[in-house]
C-alpha cells in the first residue's frame, strides 16, 4: 500500500469520536501564529488539508484560501464540509505537494500540516516577506508505545523529519527559521477508544518518512502489547499518550 492509497481509505480526519482530552506542554500554536501574520487581505495556501476540518474551524477570515491534498477522497470530504460550514473565499482541490502547480510570488502564508513538503517550491510560491508555517509529526512521537511494539511511524528512520524540514528550509533560502519541539499529552477514557484511534492513525504502522509515498507495512495491533502499554499508562485522566510534534516558521 502506498501513501495515497492509505489516506484514500481514511477520508475523514475528524477525531471528535475519540473524545480525546489534550494537555499542551509546549506554548506553540500554529493557528495563533497564523492569525498574527495575516490580515483580511492575506492569501493563504494550506498543504495537506485532509478533509478541511482544521481550515474551516481555525483558519482566519482572509481574502483567499486555497487548501490542497493529494487524495481525491479527502478533497471530496473537504468540499462537503465546506458546504456545511457556510465559509467563503475557500477553495479545495487535489494537488501533489511535491509537484506544486500554483502561482509564484503569490501567497502571504503557506501552511503545511503533517505532510510532505518541497521547501524550494514553497519559497517560490510565497511573496517577499511571506511566511511558511509547518506542523509535523516527529520520529519520537508516541515513542514509548512504539518501543513496546518495536516498530511504528518513522521508528527506524535515521534522521527525524523535523531536522530534515529545518535543514531544507534553510537550504531553500528562508530567513528567521525556527524549529520548536512540541509536546502534548492525550488522554483516552478507555481502551476501546484508544484502540479505535490507533487503527485510524499511522502511529503503529511501519511507515517511513524517508521513503517517499510508501507505507512499508500496515500491521495488526497485538492485544498483549497494547495491554502492556495501557497498564503502564492508565491514570485518573485516562490512558496517557505522549505526543511529539514539531513546529517550523520561516520568512522569505
Domain boundaries, the chain: 3-8+17-251
Helix axis angle, 223-232 to 191-200, nearest 10°: 120
Residue 179's φ and ψ, nearest 5 degrees, are -125, 125
pLDDT band, very low/low/confident/very high, at 213 (cuts 50, 70, 90): very low
- In the CATH hierarchy, which top-level class contains the domain 3-8+17-251? alpha beta
Q: Is the pTM of this model over 0.85?
A: yes
Output the CA torsion 99→104→106→108 (10° steps): 70
Q: In whole angstroms, what is the distance from residue 12 CA to residue 54 CA?
A: 12
Residue with cell 480525546: 20
For residues 137 and 118, what is the distance between their CA atoms, to the nearest angstrom? 17
Query: In the prediction, which pLDDT does 202 show?
Result: 86
Q: Is the pLDDT of residue 1 over 50?
A: no
Report CA-CA distances (Å) from 135 to 9, 16, 24, 190.
Answer: 23, 20, 15, 28
pLDDT band at residue 211 under the 50/70/90 scheme: low
Mean residue pLDDT of the chain comes to: 91
How far, in Å, CA of 126 to CA of 89, rounded? Answer: 19
pLDDT at residue 190, as a whole number: 96
**What local confidence, expressed as pLDDT, does residue 215 receive?**
52
Amino acid at each position: 500500500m502506498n501513501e495515497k492509497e492509505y489516506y484514500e481509505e481514511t477520508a475523514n480526519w475528524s477525531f471528535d469520536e475519540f473524545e480525546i482530552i489534550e494537555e499542551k506542554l509546549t506554548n506553540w500554536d500554529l493557528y495563533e501564529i497564523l492569525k498574527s501574520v495575516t490580515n483580511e487581505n492575506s492569501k493563504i495556501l494550506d498543504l495537506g488539508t485532509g478533509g478541511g476540518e482544521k481550515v474551516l474551524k481555525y483558519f482566519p477570515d482572509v481574502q483567499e484560501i486555497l487548501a490542497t491534498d493529494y487524495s481525491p477522497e479527502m478533497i471530496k470530504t473537504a468540499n462537503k464540509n465546506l458546504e456545511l460550514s457556510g465559509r467563503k473565499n475557500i477553495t479545495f482541490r487535489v494537488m501533489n505537494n511535491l509537484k506544486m502547480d500554483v502561482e509564484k510570488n503569490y501567497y502571504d502564508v503557506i501552511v503545511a500540516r503533517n505532510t510532505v513538503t518541497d521547501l524550494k517550491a514553497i519559497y517560490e510560491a510565497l511573496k517577499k516577506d511571506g511566511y511558511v508555517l509547518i506542523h509535523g509529526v516527529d520520529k519520537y512521537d508516541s515513542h514509548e508505545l512504539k518501543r513496546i511494539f518495536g516498530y511504528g511511524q518513522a521508528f527506524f528512520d535515521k534522521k527525524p523529519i523535523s531536522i530534515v524540514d529545518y535543514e531544507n528550509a534553510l537550504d531553500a533560502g528562508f530567513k528567521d527559521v525556527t524549529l520548536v519541539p512540541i509536546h502534548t499529552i492525550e488522554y483516552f477514557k478507555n481502551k476501546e477508544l484508544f484502540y479505535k484511534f490507533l487503527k485510524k492513525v499511522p502511529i503503529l504502522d511501519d511507515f517511513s518518512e524517508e521513503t517517499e509515498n510508501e507505507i512499508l507495512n500496515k500491521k495488526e495491533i497485538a492485544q498483549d502489547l497494547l495491554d502492556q502499554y495501557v497498564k503502564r499508562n492508565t491514570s485518573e485522566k485516562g490512558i496517557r499518550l505522549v505526543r511529539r510534534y514539531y513546529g517550523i516558521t520561516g520568512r522569505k
